[in-house]
Copies of this chain bind each other. A is one copy, B any other.
Amino acid sequence: MVALQNDRFLRALLGQPVDTTPVWIMRQAGRYLPEYRATREKAGSFMDLCRNADLASEVTLQPLERFDLDAAILFSDILTIPDAMGLGLYFAEGEGPRFKKVIRSQADVEKIGIPDPEQELSYVMNAVRTIRRDLNGSIPLIGFSGSPWTLATYMVEGGSSKDFGKVKGMMYENPQAMHLLLEKLADSVTLYLNAQIAAGAQAVMIFDTWGGLLTPKTYQEFSLQYMQRIIDGLQREAEGREVPVTLFTKGGAQWLELMADTGCTALGLDWTINIADAKKRVGDRVALQGNMDPCVLYGSEETIRKQVKEIITDFGDGSAHVFNLGHGIHQHINPDRVNVLVDAVHEFGKR
C-alpha cells in the first residue's frame, strides 16, 4: 500500500492539525469541464460512464490535473442503489434522472430486495479500486451514497419533482410502507458504503439532498433516524486509519445539533447558514464542511477571494474545516474560477 502524500483532508475531518484548510468541490468531476464532456461523449450515456471503471477513474482524476484539490470523489450517481433494486435508472435529456418503475404501495416495497454491493453494484466497487490505483496515494478518495429518504423521493416520484407530493403524500398516507422502504434502503446503503470502504474509499459522505423538505418531526422520523442506522453500521476503520463520515442534509441548517448527535465525523453545510453560527451550535463534536454559495463562482476573481476569506475567517480557530461549496458546482462555471477558489482557500487557510 502506498502512503498518502496529502492527508490534509482526512486530518481536518478528524480535527487533527493541518498546514492549511483542505478543499474539494461537490461535482468537481462534471459538465463544467470540457475534458469531462469529451469523455462523457465517448462513453455513451451517463450510466455507461459510471459502469466503465477506467472511464469513471479518468473523469474522477480530471479536476486534479487542473486544480490543487485535497480529495477526489468517486464518480458515480446517488441513484445506483434504486437502479440495482431493479427500478431502471435512466437520464432523460434536460430532465435529470428518471426511473422506469416507481414505488407507490406497500406491495411495491415488499418486492424490493437489498442489493449485494459486490454483485449488482460491482461496477461501483471496480471504479473505487481503479481510482485508488490511479490516484497512487496522492490524495484520499471519498465514497458516497444518497440518504434513504433522498433515494425514496426519487423512487416514489420516478425522478425529480417540484413539490414532492407523491413521496410526502405516501409518507402521510401510508407511513408504514414508507418506513419499510426506508429500512430496506438504510440496510442497502450500509452494505454499499461498507463495500466502498473495503474497496478503498478513505472517507464517506451521505447526501441527504431532500431532507430539508421535511418538517422538524418528519425529518427526525423519516430521514435522520435512517442515517443514524447507517452510521451505527459503518466500518469506521480501514488501512489502519479512521474512516470519517460526513452527513449533509441540504436545507438542514436548523437541525445541525441533531445531526451532530448521530456520531458522524463531520457535517456538510449548505450556504444558508453562517459557518461561525454553525460552529457555535455544534461545538467541537464534529468537523464542518462547506459552505460557499456555488453562485459566487459567477463573480469576479476579487469577489471569489473575498468570499473565501470571509468563510475561513468566520470559521476561525481550529483545524476541523474542509472548504467546499454548499452544493454542486453549476455546469456553466468557467473552470478558471475554480483555480481562484482553490488557491484562495490554501492561501487564506494557512496556519
Using a CB–CB cutoff of 8 Å, the interface residues on chain A facing chain B are: 163-165, 168-173, 212, 214-218, 251, 253-254, 271-274, 277, 293-296, 298-300, 303, 330, 332
Contacts and interface: CB of A to CB of B under 8 A. Distances in A.
A170 B299 CA distance: 8
Copies of this protein in the complex: 2
A172 B330 contact: no
Nearest to A166: B298
19 contacts: A163-B295, A164-B295, A165-B295, A165-B330, A168-B295, A169-B298, A170-B298, A172-B295, A173-B298, A173-B300, A212-B272, A214-B293, A215-B272, A215-B293, A216-B272, A216-B273, A216-B277, A251-B272, A253-B254
Interface secondary structure of A, over-half rule: helix
Contacts of A296: 172
Given A251-B272, A273-B254, A168 B216 contact: no
A268 to B, nearest CB: 16
A172 to B, nearest CB: 4
A6 B300 CA distance: 55
A218 B293 CA distance: 10
Given A163-B295, A215-B272, A251-B272, 6 more contacts: A163-B330, A165-B330, A214-B293, A215-B293, A216-B272, A218-B293
A258 to B, nearest CB: 12
B299 A172 contact: yes
A254 B251 CA distance: 11
Nearest to A293: B215
Contacts of A169: 295, 298-299
A300 B176 CA distance: 14
Contacts of A298: 165, 168-170, 172-173
Contacts of A254: 253-254, 272-273
Contacts of A273: 216, 254
